[in-house]
Amino acid sequence: MLNDTETFERIAMPHLGVVYRAAVALCGRLEEADDLAQETFLKAFQRFESFQQGTNCRAWLLQILRNIWIDQLRRKKVAGQALPLKEDIIAETSRNSETVWSNADDLMQNFSDEQIVAAMNRLPEDQRLTLFLIDVEQLSQNEVAQIMGVATGTVKSRTSRARAALKERLAPYVKAMRLTAE
């Protein structure tokens, strides 16, 4: 039976960084990401008995994170609260991008973290999360499909669309780099 604190810490806590980075990728604000990650681990601990040992704990935690995030969005929508403006998210995330996107350095070496974060934050939520899980966290398409509750083909198309949109959004920087190099 998986219900003791030591087992939870041994199995789930090594994934804290992944969960936190995914939370930041979803909500963009560090304070909200802290709360989202904390709520994810609290819910995971409360439901740890349902976790099947030997399965992918990271995927299980990210699925919990995604479900909590969706519930929060629904509550905010029902309560009539304004969702954060993209510009606010981009500005705040960009200021803190060094810690948030440290694993993305090899993703696009020619761009600053701020440029990548700003471009990613302009993607639709489903594409942003898909791209984050595939390219930054290096999860397989099957794992991402399980986390997001969609078919593998949907993950493939979202990844393709997200990469194309990211390329388009970073194109002005490429043009500027070429002009500077000349």
Tens-digit pLDDT profile for residues 127-168: 888 988 888 888 899 989 988 889 999 999 999 999 898 888
Quote the pTM value.
0.61
Alpha carbon distance 135, 129 (integer Å): 10
Q: What is the dihedral of CA 135, 141, 144, 145, to 10 degrees?
A: 150
- Mean pLDDT estimate for the chain: 77
Show contacts of 71-77: CB within 8 Å, 24+ apart: 72/36
Chain centroid to Cα 153, Å, comes to 20
Whether the CB-CB separation of 62 and 22 falls below 8 Å is answered with: yes
For the chain, the C-alpha Rg in angstroms (whole number) is 17
Structural domain of residue 166, as residue ranges? 5-181
Alpha carbon distance 166, 144 (integer Å): 19
CATH code (residue 109):
1.20.140.160
Least confident range from 16-25, 44-53, 108-117, 128-137: namely 108-117
Q: What is the pLDDT of residue 118?
A: 77
Whether the CB-CB separation of 59 and 139 falls below 8 Å is answered with: yes
Q: How many CB atoms lie within 10 A of CB 161?
A: 16
DSSP label of 34: H
Least confident range from 38-52, 65-79, 143-157: namely 65-79
